[in-house]
Amino acid sequence: MTDDNWWTVENLRKHEKKVTRINIHAEMEEGNGDFGSYRKVLKGESIENTLLASHNDLNPRRKIRFINKLMSTESNGIMDILDVGCGMGFTSYELSKFYKNSKITGVDISTDAVRYATEKFKNVEFICQGVEPTDPPLGRYDLIFCFEFYPFTRTNSIQTHKDYLNYFLSQLKEHGKLVIHLKWESDISIYKNFYKIKEEFKFCRFELYTIPSSKVIKFLGNNYFSFVVDRVVRFMQRKDHNKSIIISLK
């Protein structure tokens, strides 16, 4: 496995298989990322004593509400919603609480994560599967969320980005929307190719928004002032902005 392609479905499967053979708690998270943390939790460790919170949003409620306000979507509507790369299901669960009349489906490559999610969040359907653009469609959806989904955040291959975009866009219902959320200004992400893709995908409408941190939204609410304060704070702390790309078919 090379540093450039560790995020591919094939290599992630190999990585998780390696992690499942580790039985010593202290060694599970050493260089093993989310897979190690998932394994640790399934072996009885509390989430607070893992590294999950350092690279996952375990409380995404405010982020979801903020993004929904930008989309002007009716939260009480009856929809089919897909959460891609759902991990242990925390975002899928919050989506089910906010879009309470909708069917939520979460999909993730990790057996351990999906096992945890299935046992804990009974009102969400979970699928254990690595997602590749050559796969058959997962379904037809009104909303598809990709929160820090690796093919959009761990490579600058424009062909990879285009293939995955076509795959997800083909599964949108009429008036459906695809949401890609990530830390912006990374050269190994869709940020690198955003404007080229926007120019090529002329059949789509692209909207790009900065999403304030949950802490800022908590204190200031869903308003323009949150944008301003978040921008200042991130500039002072030299942190990348979080942005959401909202894509719909014209």
Q: What would the two tokens of residue 98 be?
A: 């906010």
Angle at 232 between CA 185 and CA 68, to 5 degrees: 70
Give whole-number Cα distances, 189 to 25, 48, 83, 160, in Å: 32, 29, 19, 10
Q: What is the DSSP string of the chain?
A: --TTSTTSHHHHHHHHHHHTT---HHHHTTTTHHHHHHHHHHTT--GGGSSHHHHS-S--HHHHHHHHHHHT--TTS--EEEEET-TTSHHHHHHHHHSTTSEEEEEES-HHHHHHHHHH-TTSEEEE----TTSPP---EEEEEEES-HHHHS---HHHHHHHHHHHHTTEEEEEEEEEEEESS-TTSGGGGHHHHHHH-TTEEEEEEE---HHHHHHH-SSHHHHHHHHHHHHHHT-PPEEEEEEEE-
Q: What is the pLDDT of residue 3?
A: 62
CA 162 from chain centre, in angstroms, equals 17
Q: Are strands 141-147 and 242-249 parallel, antiparallel or unpaired?
A: unpaired
Q: What is the pLDDT of residue 188?
A: 95
Q: What would the two tokens of residue 149 be?
A: 């989904």
CA 91 from chain centre, in angstroms, equals 8
- Cβ neighbourhood burial of 161 (10 Å; 0-12, 13-18, 19+): buried
CB 176 within 8 A of CB 235: no
Q: What is the pLDDT of residue 55?
A: 81
Q: What is the pLDDT of residue 243?
A: 95
Q: One digit per residue, pLDDT tens: the chain, 250 residues?
A: 446 899 999 999 999 999 999 887 788 888 888 999 999 999 999 999 999 998 889 999 999 999 999 998 999 999 999 999 999 999 999 999 999 999 999 999 999 999 999 999 999 999 999 999 999 999 999 999 999 999 999 999 999 999 999 999 999 999 999 999 999 999 999 999 999 999 999 999 999 999 988 888 888 887 777 878 888 888 788 788 899 999 999 9
Question: What pTM was computed for the model?
Answer: 0.94
Q: What is the pLDDT of residue 240?
A: 81
Q: What is the pLDDT of residue 2?
A: 47
CA–CA separation, 84 and 182 (whole Å): 13
Q: What would the two tokens of residue 228 be?
A: 């301003």
Q: What is the pLDDT of residue 130?
A: 98
Q: What is the pLDDT of residue 8?
A: 96
Q: What is the pLDDT of residue 150?
A: 96
Residue 175: which region, alpha, beta or left (left: phi > 0; alpha: psi -120 to 50)?
left
Domain ranges of the chain: 9-55, 61-249
The CATH number for 61-249, chosen from 3.40.630.30, 1.10.10.10, 3.40.50.1100, 3.40.50.150, is 3.40.50.150
CA–CA separation, 229 and 241 (whole Å): 12
**Residue whose pair of structure tokens reads 């399934």 in the numeric block:** 42
CA–CA separation, 33 and 85 (whole Å): 14
